[in-house]
Amino acid sequence: MTTTTTTTFAVTQSATFAAAWDRACSDRADSPFLVFERPDGAVRAWTYAEFDIVVDRFVALLRIRGATPGSPVHLALTSSPTFVAVWLAASRLGAWIVPSDPMATAVELAEHLRRTKAVVGFCASSRSAVYRQAGTDDGRPECVEVDEADIELGWLPAPDRYRASPAPADRAAVMFTSGTTGRPKGVEITQANYAFAGSVMADAAGLSAGDRQMVVLPMFHANAQYYSFASAITVGASVALMPGFSASGFLPQAARHGATHASLFAGPLRMILARGGPLPAATALQLRHCWFAQNLAADQYETISEWFGCRPRQLYGMTETIPAVLTDRPGDPRPDTMGYVTTGCHVDLHDASGRSCAPGEVGEIVVGGARGESLFARYLDDAATTAASFRGDWFLTGDRATRDADGCFRFHGRRSDILKVAGENVSVVEVETVLAAHPDVLEAAVVGAPDPVRDEVPMAFVVAKQGVADDVLLDSLGDWCEQRLAKSKRPHHYRLVDSLPRTSVGKIRTFLLKQETHEQT
């Protein structure tokens, strides 16, 4: 493997996501594409040809609402046929999507709308009040309220056969992810990025046209888009989409819909262990592959493998890396490793000077590739952060690992200011900024506290302003954060302290707070 920082990775990807969808609709027209199970249990299925008509109807709607090639389209929707169709329609139109957590606060949504200036926005009718509150004078899209459980979509206009023929380098999405500055970073994804993710992940999972992906993770997350939908579209496979994750319902749903492939995090797997259970012996479960991220204990892994009828495989990736750049091998997967470099990807470990680390040496995971093809294009309107995130053509993940002589990677800690809460990146700086804005808070520090299900959760150490009663502040902090932060970002514990431990130059000694947190949890 080439490990010098001057390595260049030639651009070879000429495919687009729009073309991948067109090809699948042509080659697999009468084959199943999407099966959606509503919260009430009702099920609707579409072939590729049938869903392509739905996509063209959404193309018509987008154009009626003012979207053109290059337009941003905002999505604040749970997993639903509408989300999938708007995504594909925007791709066909040459527009780009901005998917947000549908349960985000008005403050968070307003940030996304302001920075992207979306011309059209989709939200659930049940959450429209929050969505409309998020609109600002410089970020107020044309709002389309929908019923996320709608499986008929009879309100849509007639199909519009408009085709924009977007180029590989054209923007296809901006996905916001927590960053070290506290301000969410807008990760720019291209048409070629989605096509690359689909081909790499289909190959890594051994996915073929007759397989069916089971999707229970949220559609606004890169996991569902990259690993499940893009890979299925690439090979013409089908997808069973659930409106959300149910620990007790996952295995019955997988059996009911004939799922062969799935993707989860360790947190949901632990929830299945706690609230689910093995299916009756007579129940036909066809799962033969399941991705998961973040380590499981050996006994948990063995039980899950027994229940699933297959041995789940670890993966590692980020929104910025496009596919999972590390994946465990199918022959003998391990629950406590990150796996090996995925075919088609370039990964190394570097020390602080950019030197490639020897086996057993701890280093930073770096991912090589061509921007806008095998790596994200850039951060939205943030050239400085983009430049600081690369050393030559190597993307600096900030995560640390070791690698053995066989090429197997083992996780060795992440950047200190990013938490992994049930698979979601949470910036402690972002949470601290919200806490510090409270009128009765002098300062705050947030660290991760161990959690048996979600891996870690935010814990806040708060210093009150002089004269503020502790009980009054504690009573108000929960409501304050609930109004400003998505659920995964809200502290699960608040501890009032007289002062925060600091170094001689005034920096907060967060390792002492982490130590205290681990000792008391």
Terminal Cα distance for the chain, rounded:
43
Q: What angle do CA 375, 381, 385 make, to 5 degrees?
A: 60
Q: Measured between alpha carbons, how far is 246 from 465 in angstroms, rounded to an integer?
A: 42
Return the domain boundaries, the chain.
44-162, 418-519
Q: What angle do CA 132, 134, 138 make, to 5 degrees?
A: 105
Do 236 and 24 form a contact (C-beta atoms < 8 A)?
Answer: yes
DSSP secondary structure letters along 268-315:
HHHHHHHH--PPPTTS-----EEEEES---HHHHHHHHHHHTS--EEE
| Cβ-based neighbours of 297, under 8 Å, separated by 6 or more | 335
Task: Please tell me the number of Cα atoms within 13 Å of 237 on its side-chain side.
Answer: 31
Residue 5, pLDDT score = 47
DSSP secondary structure letter of residue 88: H
3-class DSSP assignment, residue 140 = coil
Do 99 and 123 form a contact (C-beta atoms < 8 A)?
Answer: no
Q: Is the dihedral of CA 44, 49, 53, 55 positive or negative?
A: positive
Helix, strand, coil shares, percent, the chain, to 5: 30, 25, 45
Pairing mode of beta strands 96-99, 424-427: unpaired
Assess if CATH 3.40.50.980 describes domain 44-162.
yes
3-class DSSP assignment, residue 345 = coil
Q: Measured between alpha carbons, how far is 110 from 103 in angstroms, rounded to an integer?
A: 13
Domain 418-519: CATH architecture, name and number where available: 2-Layer Sandwich (3.30)
The pTM score is 0.86
Do 55 and 82 form a contact (C-beta atoms < 8 A)?
Answer: no
Per-residue pLDDT tens digits of the chain, which is 521 residues long: 434 445 666 655 579 999 999 999 999 999 999 999 999 999 999 999 999 999 999 999 999 999 999 999 999 999 999 999 999 999 999 999 999 999 999 999 999 999 999 999 999 999 999 999 997 666 689 999 999 999 999 999 999 999 999 999 999 999 998 654 457 899 999 999 999 999 999 999 999 999 999 999 999 999 999 999 999 999 999 999 999 999 999 999 999 999 999 999 888 898 899 888 899 987 899 999 999 988 888 889 999 999 999 999 999 999 999 999 999 999 889 998 999 999 999 999 999 999 999 999 999 999 999 999 999 999 999 999 999 999 999 999 999 899 999 999 998 876 667 888 988 888 888 898 899 889 999 889 999 998 888 889 999 999 898 889 999 999 999 999 999 999 999 999 999 999 888 754 456 788 789 888 877 65
Angle between the N-to-C axes of helices 17-27 and 81-93, in degrees from 0 to 180, rounded to the nearest 10: 110
Give residue 481's identity as a one-letter amino acid code: C
3 state SS for 405-474: CCCCEEECCCCCCEEEECCEEEEHHHHHHHHHCCCCEEEEEEEEEEECCCEEEEEEEEEECCCCCHHHHH
